[in-house]
A and B are shown apart, each in its own frame.
Chain A
Amino acid sequence: NAGVTQTPKFQVLKTGQSMTLQCAQDMNHNSMYWYRQDPGMGLRLIYYSASEGTTDKGEVPNGYNVSRLNKREFSLRLESAAPSQTSVYFCASSGLAGIQETQYFGPGTRLLVL
């Protein structure tokens, strides 16, 4: 049981390049999330998917697109990377921990945009 996995672990892009961050979970969770974490800013929600086939914007969606490929996989795409998108990106899925639905995080992708 791997939990939430993310690829790649680290990526360097030049301004204007595109890339897709991959996320997969094996916990049979319906909901999945993409966050970015920046120093002094905490975790901020980019997009989320409440269930297969649905996606919605979070707090900071500009410059990103997402695809919920199936129940297991949720990808984040940067169409034209900008230096402001340099960050650590975390994928999460949510399921029950006791009586409360809570979120389980992947190990993160460190992205540097030059």
Chain B
Amino acid sequence: QKEVEQDPGPLSVPEGAIVSLNCTYSNSAFQYFMWYRQYSRKGPELLMYTYSSGNKEDGRFTAQVDKSSKYISLFIRDSQPSDSATYLCAMSEKWSGGSNYKLTFGKGTLLTVNP
């Protein structure tokens, strides 16, 4: 079983729809949970991060973490064509014996929002 599983999609929705993106994980050592957005032919950029179980909201975006189920979600409300991108979940744990954090990424979900 891979440490992080993410449905690759592709996912196509009409403008204004609510989008739900999900990842599951198996490693209980993961401490922080992040969502990156990657536009075509660009580098990933950090969208949101969370630490504890529960919800975190930032404008039209809500990140949700359920540590008991090892499941994280990203919701996008009132989706816009400019939201069309690949969304990658990422989870961090400390390197053994060090102070740095290692990130493990999901494979990404390709989202297209149609006008």
Chain B residue numbers with a CB within 8 Å of A90 are 43-44
Q: Do A42 and B49 touch (CB < 8 A)?
A: no
What are 26 A-B residue pairs whose CB atoms fall within 8 Å in the complex?
A4-B43, A31-B100, A40-B107, A41-B107, A42-B105, A42-B106, A42-B107, A48-B100, A50-B95, A90-B43, A90-B44, A92-B43, A94-B100, A99-B51, A100-B32, A100-B49, A100-B51, A101-B92, A101-B100, A101-B101, A102-B32, A102-B34, A103-B46, A103-B103, A105-B44, A107-B42
Chain A residues in the interface with B (C-beta under 8 A)? 4, 31, 40-43, 45, 48, 50, 90, 92, 94, 97-108
CB distance from A57 to the nearest CB of B (A): 12
Q: Do B43 and A108 touch (CB < 8 A)?
A: yes
Instruction: Give the tally of cross-chain contacts (CB within 8 A).
Output: 55
Q: B65 on the interface (CB 8 Å rule)?
A: no
Q: Select one of A31, A97, A107 contacting B49, CB under 8 A.
A: A97
CB distance from B70 to the nearest CB of A (A): 18
CB distance from A68 to the nearest CB of B (A): 14
Q: Do A102 and B49 touch (CB < 8 A)?
A: yes
Q: B98 on the interface (CB 8 Å rule)?
A: yes
Chain B residue numbers with a CB within 8 Å of A45 are 102-103
**A40 nearest CB neighbor, chain B only:** B107
Q: B45 on the interface (CB 8 Å rule)?
A: yes
Cα distance, A67 to B112, chains bound together (Å): 39
The range of chain B's interface size is 20 to 34
Q: Select one of A31, A42, A105 contacting B43, CB under 8 A.
A: A105
Known: A90-B44, A100-B92. A50 touches B100 (CB 8 A): yes
Known: A102-B34, A103-B103. A50 touches B98 (CB 8 A): yes
Q: Do B44 and A43 touch (CB < 8 A)?
A: yes
Q: B88 on the interface (CB 8 Å rule)?
A: yes
**A44 nearest CB neighbor, chain B only:** B105
CB distance from B4 to the nearest CB of A (A): 8
Chain B residue numbers with a CB within 8 Å of A40 are 8, 107
CB distance from B47 to the nearest CB of A (A): 11
CB distance from B24 to the nearest CB of A (A): 14
